[in-house]
A and B are shown apart, each in its own frame.
Chain A
Amino acid sequence: MANPVVIMRNPAETAFIERFAAEKASLPGAAQARAEAFARFEARGLPSKRIESYHYTDVRNLMRSVAPAAKDAVAGETLKLEGFARHGFSNGRWQGGDSSAGVTVQPLADAYREGLTPGLGMGQASDVVVDLNTAFARDGVVIRIAAGRHAKLHLAFSENVGAAASILPRVIVEVGEGASLMLVATHEGTDGIAYQVNEVVELRLGRQAKVEHIRLNLSGDKAMVLSSVAATLGEEAELQTMQVSLGGEVCRHQVFVTYQGENAKAAIRGATMLKGNQHHDSTLVVDHAVPHGESRELFRTVVDGSAHGVFQGKIIVRPHAQKTDGQMASNALLLSDDAGMSNKPELEIFADDVVCAHGATCGSLDENQLFYLQARGLPRRIAEALLVEAFLGEVIDTVSEESLREMLAGLVSDWMQARAIS
């Protein structure tokens, strides 16, 4: 009855295998980590919907081919942020940037050659998309914040491609004891071209380190964007990570957080706006491996057109990770009849002295509220915009920097305005 499983490779899987064979010798450093990561990919293939954590985003089915590595290009015009040391990236390649006290920035290749090992940010998690990045990444930077220092960095990624191309950058950030970092990564890309991004950001927070990380997804409207944040938290470290997502055609944003020291805190948030045929998947794995951790997750998704949103959040509490406090919420608003949303908030708990909860809601805008606003003279579209801005505002308002908050709120209202016109 049990049929032997025949491994059928899809063209993309075959292309990755050929590419690794061809490039292996020329990939800079980290040879062992690359080989191990690639072996895992070879054994498992691209994740399909049969894999529980890819239930709603069948990467194997969505990715039929592998685009060639993106060529060097002149970085396009990108967002400027006041008060941040700016580092430009063109198709994943670091173009240099402003120097700031207590901060060292090194090309990824150099750090690998010096012996830096990628993947530590993943903790006990394992993920084939991250493995592919580990195997192939040449571009990116390693950023180190010295103990006790404070920095504000803007990583401005320009995805400027003329034809289908793949971009696989990796950013590894080591934040020293007691240091604090505000890290804003903006990703802006060319519309109309089916390029592929597989980006990994590793955040390693030392004891009492504080990081506020914001990823802004403004990738091109035909792009497939796989982005991963892999963070480890030292004792009493505090992490905030948020993605504000508008771009891309098929996107999956993954956040892996592993608690390594006690009394650490993490807040993971997302504000996602989807329209047309966009598909966006936010997947979290929050691993409380030690006692006294606190995690807060808040994801808000607004879905228009025939787009589809996905939220999968898993809180793991390992045996002995007592006194864990985890609260997770995902809320979605569906603005059109064809919009869809899938929520899968999970709790996986092996310790008894914990307080964990999750909530998920999905629905349309409240008609009573809309009516009230309309009765006060607001056109329906404006009333809707007001409610949607308030809905996403609960996520965006947690950004500590006022100018950034205003910029993000502006993107929301532009998005709603564009909707009103179309």
Chain B
Amino acid sequence: MPAVKETVETVRKIDVDQYKYGFVTDIESELAPKGLDEDTVRFISAKKNEPAWLLEWRLEAFRRWQTMQEPTWARVRYPEIDFQDLHYYAAPKKTPGPKSLDEVDPELLKTYEKLGIPLREREILAGVEGAKVAVDAVFDSVSVVTTFKEELAKAGVIFCAISEAVHTHPELVKQYLGTVVPTTDNFYATLNSAVFSDGSFVYIPPGVKCPMELSTYFRINEQKTGQFERTLIIADKGSYVSYLEGCTAPKRDEAQLHAAVVELVALDDAEIKYSTVQNWYPGDKDGKGGIYNFVTKRGDCRGQRSKISWTQVETGSAITWKYPSCILRGEGSSGEFYSIAISNGYQQVDSGTKMIHLGKNTTSKILAKGIAAGRSDNTYRGQVTAHRKATGARNFTNCDSLLIGDLCGAHTIPYIESKNSSAVFEHEATTSKIAEDQLFYCMQRGLDEEEAVALIVNGFVKEVLQQLPMEFAVEAQKLIAVSLEGSVG
């Protein structure tokens, strides 16, 4: 039997169900009643003690959402979602808005420790040499704690829960919320606008290079709960921020909905680097359960020479529907998208990016690596558009797919649209499997098949991994290796 075939057989035999973040935290929660109507929206808004304008904003979105239909164009299939059979709000009961870590429920701190996310600042300082990462931990619907707030405040950086920012910095929230992803944008984004519960808010003042990495860690715990967080990041003129996002969820037999919205705004000469390691629960080996990850992420390069860079490592979720995009509005602005999407078992991935070139001399780069194994379907869908005024626009796209086994599918669907003759677009894509002779070569040097496959796959995705901040890259590499141990080969 050829080595690759044997690898595939091995993969088939191994239980894909190796998700190690599948534990449930036993904590008392406050839940909104199931179902969604205007009262649910009012309930959420009241919980957050929101100003009238924001309630009105939500209600408008909700009314709009009622007229909309779920999109069907993606290559994903799932049973109909009963939007009335979900909780739209869940919060750990004991600590509504803790002032300090001491007030945070110890169960929660334990949860994050288990996940490898230390929240106690002194532990972080003790544990990590040099690099500091400020964390906003979001548990179900609410932000439980944000670390290093004071140190960040010294630099003028605002990093807090968005529900808090509504009260502490209403002018900024009002000015920017919904300006990148309008409430009317798409079915899930509109739903999010109506019912979003929490998420992170970041503002970097002009000329400030954020002194540390900012990070949000999302955790879905409660059953039958939709998570709808909303993140808003504004990098003012000449500022820089690197932001990391991580996600996990317990194993549940029922699919859970996650419909987040992320909005980024970069003003003149500002740069935002946004990295995600998405490891939501992917469902069990028979495709039961898992997170439906229907996420709208968009960055607006509003200022001249601004830059937004998305990096994502997608290993989890039953279904991924996600297209982190850049609107390249400012003259000379640039957008980047680096992606690794690994699918296995019955996972379905339809992910990619949009680069919308509106301004002169805007540039974009797309590097997408898809790896399909098991019975999964892995689709790259990307759009690159140059509008009439986008003189001198440039795009380079490279998307490569690797297939492991003959029961999975890898698909590439790029839309490349140019309405400006001086725009130069280049697109390349390949699909292949791990070469038999490469495997043999590695094995001849003493690596077993799994090690050999892992080594080659890591080489395949290396260019993307290099884009991640150091600490994250190590974590991502481990995550890929774990996926490869049982899931890929």
The reply, when asked whether chain A contacts chain B directly with Cβ atoms under 8 A, is yes
- A residues near B (Cβ < 8 Å) are 1-3, 52, 55, 319-320, 322, 332, 334-364
* Contact present for A356 and B431 (CB under 8 Å): yes
Alpha-carbon distance between A322 and B419 when the two chains are bound, in angstroms: 39
Q: A2-B69, A335-B421, A347-B401 are in contact. Are A360 and B411 (CB under 8 A)?
A: no
Q: List 23 A-B contacts (CB under 8 A).
A: A52-B73, A322-B406, A334-B420, A335-B421, A344-B416, A345-B414, A346-B411, A346-B414, A348-B409, A349-B409, A350-B406, A352-B8, A354-B403, A354-B433, A355-B431, A355-B432, A357-B431, A358-B428, A358-B429, A360-B414, A361-B427, A363-B421, A363-B422
Measured between C-beta atoms, what is the minimum distance from A15 to chain B in Å? 30
* Contact present for B427 and A359 (CB under 8 Å): yes
* Contact present for B431 and A349 (CB under 8 Å): yes
Alpha-carbon distance between A357 and B417 when the two chains are bound, in angstroms: 20
Q: A343-B416, A358-B429 are in contact. Are A320 and B406 (CB under 8 A)?
A: yes
Measured between C-beta atoms, what is the minimum distance from B369 to chain A in Å? 14
A338: chain B residues within 8 A (beta carbon): 388, 419
> Per DSSP, are chain B's interface residues mostly helix, strand or loop, or mixed?
strand
Alpha-carbon distance between A352 and B412 when the two chains are bound, in angstroms: 15
- B residues near A (Cβ < 8 Å) are 4, 8, 66-69, 73, 388, 401, 403-433
Q: A362-B424, A363-B423 are in contact. Are A347 and B416 (CB under 8 A)?
A: no
Task: Pick the contact of B406: A1, A351, A357 (CB < 8 A).
Answer: A351
The chain B residue with its CB closest to the CB of A361 is: B426
Measured between C-beta atoms, what is the minimum distance from A324 to chain B in Å? 10
Q: A344-B414, A351-B406 are in contact. Are A357 and B421 (CB under 8 A)?
A: no
B403: chain A residues within 8 A (beta carbon): 349, 351-352, 354
Alpha-carbon distance between A351 and B66 when the two chains are bound, in angstroms: 41
Alpha-carbon distance between A357 and B418 when the two chains are bound, in angstroms: 22
Q: Most chain-A CB neighbours within 10 Å: which of B404, B411, B418?
A: B418
B425: chain A residues within 8 A (beta carbon): 343, 360-363
Q: Most chain-A CB neighbours within 10 Å: which of B415, B419, B431, B433?
A: B431
Alpha-carbon distance between A346 and B403 when the two chains are bound, in angstroms: 16
Q: A347-B412, A360-B414 are in contact. Are A352 and B424 (CB under 8 A)?
A: no
Measured between C-beta atoms, what is the minimum distance from A143 to chain B in Å? 37
Q: Most chain-B CB neighbours within 10 Å: which of A335, A349, A351?
A: A349
* Contact present for A360 and B427 (CB under 8 Å): yes
The chain B residue with its CB closest to the CB of A56 is: B417
* Contact present for B411 and A348 (CB under 8 Å): yes
Q: A1-B68, A322-B406, A347-B401 are in contact. List 15 more A-B contacts (CB 8 A).
A: A337-B421, A341-B417, A344-B414, A345-B414, A345-B429, A346-B414, A347-B411, A349-B409, A349-B411, A350-B406, A352-B8, A353-B406, A357-B430, A359-B428, A364-B424
A320: chain B residues within 8 A (beta carbon): 406
* Contact present for A349 and B422 (CB under 8 Å): no
* Contact present for A353 and B424 (CB under 8 Å): no
* Contact present for A356 and B66 (CB under 8 Å): no
Measured between C-beta atoms, what is the minimum distance from A54 to chain B in Å? 13
B66: chain A residues within 8 A (beta carbon): 1
* Contact present for B419 and A357 (CB under 8 Å): no
* Contact present for A349 and B401 (CB under 8 Å): yes
B404: chain A residues within 8 A (beta carbon): 352
Measured between C-beta atoms, what is the minimum distance from A400 to chain B in Å? 30
* Contact present for A342 and B417 (CB under 8 Å): yes
Q: A357-B429, A361-B425 are in contact. Are A340 and B414 (CB under 8 A)?
A: no
* Contact present for A344 and B406 (CB under 8 Å): no
* Contact present for B427 and A347 (CB under 8 Å): no
B432: chain A residues within 8 A (beta carbon): 354-356
B416: chain A residues within 8 A (beta carbon): 342-344, 360, 362
User: Which 6 pairs, one residue from A and one from B, show the smallest C-beta to C-beta distance?
Assistant: A334-B421, A363-B424, A352-B403, A343-B416, A347-B412, A360-B427
Measured between C-beta atoms, what is the minimum distance from A363 to chain B in Å? 4
Measured between C-beta atoms, what is the minimum distance from A105 to chain B in Å? 41
Measured between C-beta atoms, what is the minimum distance from A187 to chain B in Å? 28
Measured between C-beta atoms, what is the minimum distance from A384 to chain B in Å? 12
Alpha-carbon distance between A347 and B399 when the two chains are bound, in angstroms: 11
Q: A339-B421, A352-B406, A364-B422 are in contact. Are A344 and B415 (CB under 8 A)?
A: yes
B421: chain A residues within 8 A (beta carbon): 334-337, 339, 363-364
* Contact present for B423 and A344 (CB under 8 Å): no
Q: A352-B404, A358-B412 are in contact. Are A341 and B418 (CB under 8 A)?
A: yes
A359: chain B residues within 8 A (beta carbon): 426-429
The chain B residue with its CB closest to the CB of A2 is: B69
A346: chain B residues within 8 A (beta carbon): 411-414
